[in-house]
Structure formats: structure tokens, C-alpha cells
Amino acid sequence: MMLSDVMEDYLKAIYYLQGEDEEERIRTSEIAEHLDVTSPTVTSMLEKLEERGLVDREKYEGVRLTEEGETVALEVLRHHRLLEAYLTEHLDYDWSEVHDEADRLEHHISEKFERRLAELLDDPKVDPHGDPIPNEQLDPPPADEGVPLTEFETEDRVAVARIEDGDPEILRYLADRGIEPGAVLELTDVAPFGVVTVRAAAQAETCALPQEVAQEVLVTAVSAELERA
């Protein structure tokens, strides 16, 4: 089945918006906002995807991926995240640059190239931002690890599991302050108006994160003993 790059982008977007709930229907307005297009444009594309059996569409309720549509989305996602890992590890790209580059390349690599890429990278389980990479069998990856940093309190210690990769400027800001997957953070202050102040284990200075940024940093709780280990 030959699909256009745009069709694959829509399937990947629906997969992302569905999250862990495969039964959830995604509304046209949500897809339009995510892809920064108009609702009529989305409606037109969803009709095409429905005709090809890639989405299950219910009027006024939204869409969800069919099994075939999910397989396509997972394949594109695997390409994307393998490319992000390759660009950072072998071509010296900053992690803030790789998302857009991988977006351009993900539709155009062969399955042979994908396998060689995975072998070269020793079959990584996550990309540079901590997002899980679907395996070669295109099984859905495990549920995203971590909860938003905003769920924790002053003096809590947490380990960064993953960071949303949408805004390069935010990624550069966080990396400069040692906030990246694997880093251990101490929450030094949580303001009532949403600002979360943290200190990375390897940094002397604290860093104040607005709520909208802190929500994109997904973390897990760690004990003081684990931090010293």
C-alpha cells in the first residue's frame, strides 16, 4: 500500500493523540491543532484514510486507528526515533535539532536501511528524548514511563525518564542545565503559581521551570540511596 508522506503524518499524529487508550476517538479539532492545519483539511484527509481502511471514523465522535493504521503509524515512529538516535550518536546533531530532521527523513528510508540502522545503534530501546522505539515486529511500545515533574513536591528527588521533543529552544535550555533523560533532580521549591525550581545532581545552580515546561519533563521518584549509588 503506497501512502503519501502526509497520510503517514496523520496516522502518526492520531497514534500520538490516542496515547495508551486505543479505544479513544480523536476529534478533528485535536488533529488540526496538533498538525497546525484547518479542520476542513483534516476532514478531507480522514475520508481518504477511512477509504483505505486505516482509520475507523464515527461522525461527531472522531476517529481511531484500525489495526492496519496502527501498524503504519508504528513503522513511521520506529523510523523517526531510530533516525533521531543515529543523528545524535553518529552525526553530532544536538538533541534539539533531530526532531525536524527525522520528520523529513522518516518517510524515505527502506526496511533494509532501517535494519542496518538498528544494528549500527545496537537496537536501542529509546530515542535521545527518552521516548520508546517500537521494535522490529512493530509491537506497541510499553506505556510511557514517568509522570510530569509538576506532580512532585519540594525536596523530592526524581530521575528524568523522557522529555517532550517539540520545542528546540526548550530542549537546549534544559540540556544546558543538565536536565535530560537519566539525570537526577532535586526539587528545591514548588511555587503555588506553578514554577518548579530544581537542581540537577551534576549542577551547582538551581533552575526555575515554568509550569508549561515542567509538565513536559516526565520523571520517576528515586530514593536518596539510589542517587548515591
Task: Confirm whether 186 is domain-assigned.
Answer: yes
What is the structure's pLDDT at 225? 43
Q: How far apart are CA 69 and CA 65, in angstroms?
A: 5
Task: Confirm whether 204 is domain-assigned.
Answer: yes
- Is the pLDDT assigned to residue 168 strictly greater than 50? yes
Give, in order, the Cα–Cα distances in Å from 81 to each of 27, 50, 63, 111: 26, 26, 25, 14
What mean pLDDT comes out for the span 104-118?
A: 95
Q: What does the DSSP 8-state code read for residue 142?
A: P
What is the structure's pLDDT at 192? 84
- Find the CATH number of the domain harbouring 13: 1.10.10.10
Give me the amino acid identity at 67: E
**CB contact at 8 A, 93 and 127:** no
Q: How far apart are CA 135 and CA 139, in angstroms?
A: 6
Q: How far apart are CA 152 and CA 94, in angstroms?
A: 29
Residue 106 grid coordinates: 522518516
- Is the pLDDT assigned to residue 229 strictly greater than 60? no
Residue 127 burial by Cβ neighbours in a 10 Å radius (0-12, 13-18, 19+):
buried
From the CA atom positions of the chain, what is the Rg in Å? 19
Task: Confirm whether 73 is domain-assigned.
Answer: no
Task: Confirm whether 77 is domain-assigned.
Answer: no
Which helix or strand (DSSP H or E) is residue 160 part of?
Answer: strand 157-163
Q: Of 124 and 227, which is predicted with more confidence?
A: 124
- Is the pLDDT assigned to residue 78 strictly greater than 60? yes
pTM of the model: 0.85
What is the structure's pLDDT at 165? 66
Task: Confirm whether 22 is domain-assigned.
Answer: yes
- Find the CATH number of the domain harbouring 204: 2.30.30.90
What is the structure's pLDDT at 23? 76
Give me the amino acid identity at 190: V
Q: How far apart are CA 187 and CA 185, in angstroms?
A: 6
What mean pLDDT comes out for the span 123-147?
A: 89
- In sequence order, the β-bridge partners of residue 116 are none
- Is the pLDDT assigned to residue 121 strictly greater than 70? yes
- From edge to edge, which strands make up the β-sheet containing 196-200? 147-148, 217-221, 157-163, 184-190, 196-200, 207-209
What are 183-205's pLDDT values in tens digits? Answer: 999 999 999 888 999 999 878 88
Given 24, 47, 65, the domain boundary residue is 65
What mean pLDDT comes out for the span 17-31?
A: 87
Q: How far apart are CA 85 and CA 89, in angstroms?
A: 6
Task: Confirm whether 115 is domain-assigned.
Answer: no
What is the structure's pLDDT at 226? 44
Model confidence at 223, in pLDDT bands (50, 70, 90)? low
- Residue-range definition of the domain harbouring residue 203: 147-228
Given 65, 82, 114, the domain boundary residue is 65
The answer to which of 13-27, 35-49, 177-191 has the lowest mean pLDDT is 13-27
The answer to which of 43-47, 145-149, 196-200 has the lowest mean pLDDT is 145-149
What mean pLDDT comes out for the span 67-82?
A: 97
What percent of the chain has a predicted confidence (pLDDT) above 90? 76
**Number of independent structural domains in the chain:** 2
Task: Confirm whether 121 is domain-assigned.
Answer: no
Given 65, 90, 114, the domain boundary residue is 65
Rounded to 5 degrees, φ, ψ at 227 are -60, -35
What is the structure's pLDDT at 144? 67
Task: Confirm whether 132 is domain-assigned.
Answer: no
